[in-house]
Amino acid sequence: MKNWERFYKKEKSFIKTNEPSKIVLKGFEMLNLQPGDCHHILDLGCGNGRNTIYAAQFNISVDAVDLENLNFMQNIPENISNNIIFQKISVMDFNIKPKTYVGIIATRLFQYLKPSEVHLLLGRIRNWLVHDWLMMLSYTEFGGIFDKLDIDVPKYQHSINGIKNEIEKVGFKLILLKKGTNISTNVPYQIPNKTYDIIAKRD
């Protein structure tokens, strides 16, 4: 955790863009939420808040969770920031009552979780979702989002078959899986054909 904090303080954020992830754009297209709907979204490992801010523009409530607070709400309009609740906490320590969210975002996250944590978190995500609603996930098989020697944090390599099995094991149905997508950041995945965008629906 200290290494994440030191890197954030030095670089502010390694993801410079404010553009939402493409898998989130696709997920919201499927969700078809209308402004003012009484729905809740969760962004796990929200980073610089780009996906959180996008979701909040629908005038719905968004919970954002990350180890470090990058203060991304400081420079956004009040009508958007009022829709966001940020918690500085590990995604593995976060918990909430079941059937709270219609959409849960987990982008660039699973490569930093142990296999046992992936299984546990996927089960929680399913539990937190309202029946028949969506999880939006992107990750890379090779571990980490990039190789930088100045950020020494654990990185785990999860095969796509392993992730698919875990997703289905906890009670999700895969409805979209795209390989080799180019996530819209200034720090793209180094091996695009080892990256995956996934949307799954709670059965």
For the chain, the maximum distance between any two Cα atoms, rounded to a whole number of angstroms, is 45
- Residue 196 pLDDT > 80: yes
Write the pLDDT tens digit of every residue in 103-128.
Answer: 999 998 998 899 999 999 999 999 99
Burial class (CB in 10 A: 0-12, 13-18, 19+), 34: exposed
- Bridge partner residues of 43 (DSSP): 64, 105
Give the confidence band of 34 by pLDDT, cuts at 50, 70, 90.
Answer: confident
Q: Which CATH number fits domain 2-202: 3.40.50.300, 3.40.50.1380, 3.40.50.150, 1.10.1040.10?
A: 3.40.50.150
Distance separating alpha carbons of residues 99 and 194, to the nearest angstrom: 32
- pLDDT digits 0-9 by tens, 56-87: 999 899 999 998 887 888 889 999 999 999 99
> Chain centroid to CA 191: how far?
19
From CA 51, how far away is CA 5, in angstroms rounded?
A: 21
What pLDDT does residue 1 have? Answer: 47
| Angle ∠(84,89,93) on CA atoms, nearest 5 | 120
99-104: average pLDDT: 97
Return the domain boundaries, the chain.
Answer: 2-202
pLDDT category of residue 197 using cuts at 50, 70 and 90 = very high
